[in-house]
A and B are shown apart, each in its own frame.
Chain A
Amino acid sequence: MLSDITLGQYFPGRSILHRLDPRVKMVLVLAAIVLIFTAFNFASMGLVVALVIAGMLLSGVPVKMYLKSMKAILFIVAFTSILNLFYGTGEPIFQWGFMQITMNGVYRCIFIAIRITALILCSSILTFTTSPTQLTDAMERLMKPLKLFRVPVHDIAMIMTIALRFVPTLLEETDKIMSAQKARGADMESGGLMQRIKSLIPILIPLFVSAFRRAYDLAMAMECRCYNSRMTPTKMKQLHMAGRDAVAIVVVLVVIAGVVVGDIFLPSLA
């Protein structure tokens, strides 16, 4: 079922991660993602992975949900890491025809798998513990300096909010339309690639039509409530930083320092 997709979903809760300032959370997650791609040996990578696992446990969201969000991209992880296996440099340890595997390739394979997994988990922590409103609010605040360059920050944030808001609605709609077309005998499970692509038309067209209809309705409703993006409304919920935010920043800074030290003093593997 489509509703099984948990990637990008929000799980309301009261954990320490839920209560962190969303701006801080967003910056720290970005920092962690950069770290994932700058850790070049097992010690540094271990440190980053420990940070991600700590985040998962602190979030209070069942680990099962994280595994579910991984399921969707398992194929990409497997594909890229296996591809990387054959792109290593140095002495081959296994050769078959033109394909060769080197120790470097094996490391690359392991690291890329860890990286993509950690990347997804990291962003899952952010979206699982932060409501879409908080997320866009934080984004708007963080992008505020761009206003100087005439970037329509508020509009972008609004677009993001609306897009996120409609993800579950459209999923539900897709489910309904699929049921209706199946009831008319639409066959989506068999046939070749072209056949399958063709069988999506009866689903995509009604979905687009209904998305446009919803967009019109929403625009009308916003218009009726005098929405105007040129005016800057005051915020109902002001963002405040607290002691826990400082603690979170310090923890991530320590991990950054650890990774940098590890990268400098230990040999790079991948």
Chain B
Amino acid sequence: MAAVLETQDLTYVYSPGSPFARTAVDHVNIAIEEGESVGVIGHTGSGKSTLIQQLNGLLRPTSGKILLHGKDIWAEPKKIRAVRFQVGMVFQYPEYQLFEETVLKDIAFGPKNKGLSDEEAMEKAKEAAEFTGLKRSLWEKSPFELSGGEKRRVAIAGVIAMDPDVLVLDEPAAGLDPKGRDVLLAQIGSYHQHRKNTVLLISHSMEDIARTADRVLVMNKGKAAMFDTTPNVFARSAELETMGLRVPQVTAIMTRLQAMGCPVPSGVLTLEQAIKELLPLVKKKEADENAQ
């Protein structure tokens, strides 16, 4: 598979040359494959946000390169806007960026900036609204009349409508109730499966990461500490803990059970998987007890 996004010795220093200089991203080399879903985790201040803001050219790296489809995105600084349509970025609490009169118009803002005609942009907007599960009755309403969760969806639809090759989401579920959280993540998952494009998801919830990501990038003190498949990363719980992170609760419980001599496999990441593993064991035990 070809790498859609690649960083080479990517380094970002805040206020370089002054006494306040701080290296936020330190020689990061990663390659993100086409069509994969990558989870990004890291302690607050580990450089996650700085890293992803460079991926779509909002921040210009102090040194190093970012290759999008093999081409340096800063080769022609004047064309950096084109990169932003290919790497769609959904910021934290994106509902605060809404401004248009109607939901659809707001979603169409990105496609219109891309140069699409009004009708084409509307078409894209409707498609994206459908994708994020916004009810048709909301489409012509003012975005300010919607509930928090609905606003969040409008904002995410606004980025999806640009048809990016890579979708980057910074804590998309922050501040939502558990049900809203599940629905939103499921929708992102189905979007990923449908469009077959690349998704980068930043989250503080290891459970969310375990559920959605094929591979996990762990950032620590500006460096890419790990970049491996999700089970492999979560198998290194001791290391993660030294970085202020942890493994999903289910994984921790299953690892404990294994240590206690229970015949369960390692690398269990989700509740569904755990149930599948544990239920036969429980049933077997019940049957044994009944037999006695």
Query: Using a CB–CB distance below 8 Å, which chain A residues touch chain B?
Result: 173, 176-177, 179-187, 201-202, 205-206, 209-210
Contacts and interface: CB of A to CB of B under 8 A. Distances in A.
B109 A202 contact: yes
B81 A185 contact: yes
A210 B96 CA distance: 7
A100 B98 CA distance: 54
Interface stretch (B86-94, B132-140, B233-241, B279-287): B86-94
Contacts of A206: 96-99
Q: Which of A179, A183, A187 has the most CB of B within 10 A?
A: A183
A209 B96 CA distance: 8
A184 B96 contact: no
Give me the 4 closest cross-chain CB pairs, A-B, nearest first: A185-B113, A205-B99, A180-B97, A184-B110
A55 B58 CA distance: 40
Given A185-B110, A185-B114, A206-B98, 20 more contacts: A176-B91, A176-B96, A179-B58, A179-B91, A180-B96, A181-B97, A182-B84, A183-B88, A183-B89, A183-B91, A184-B84, A184-B162, A185-B85, A185-B113, A186-B113, A201-B99, A205-B99, A206-B96, A206-B97, A209-B96
B159 interface: yes
A66 to B, nearest CB: 16
Contacts of A173: 96
Contacts of B53: 179
A184 B81 contact: no
A35 B86 CA distance: 59
A183 B110 CA distance: 9
6 contacts: A177-B96, A179-B53, A185-B114, A186-B113, A202-B99, A206-B99
A173 B97 CA distance: 10
A137 to B, nearest CB: 30
Contacts of B97: 177, 180-181, 184, 202, 206
Contacts of B144: 209
A204 to B, nearest CB: 8
A16 B114 CA distance: 56
B87 to A, nearest CB: 9
Contacts of A180: 91, 94, 96-97
Q: Which of B89, B110, B113, B159 has the most CB of A within 10 A?
A: B113
A5 to B, nearest CB: 15
B91 A184 contact: no
Contacts of B99: 201-202, 205-206, 209
Contacts of B110: 184-185
B89 A187 contact: no
B73 to A, nearest CB: 14
B198 interface: no
Contacts of B89: 183
B56 interface: yes
Contacts of B162: 184-185
Q: Which of A180, A182, A184, A209 has the most CB of B within 10 A?
A: A184
A40 B53 CA distance: 54
Interface in B79-131: 81, 84-85, 88-89, 91, 94, 96-99, 109-110, 113-114
Interface in B207-225: none
Contacts of A183: 56, 58, 84, 88-89, 91, 159
Contacts of A187: 81, 113
Contacts of A184: 84, 97, 109-110, 113, 158-159, 162
A85 to B, nearest CB: 37
Nearest to B109: A184
Q: Which of A176, A185, A202, A205 has the most CB of B within 10 A?
A: A185
A184 B94 CA distance: 11
Contacts of A202: 97, 99, 109
Q: Which of B97, B144, B158, B159 has the most CB of A within 10 A?
A: B97
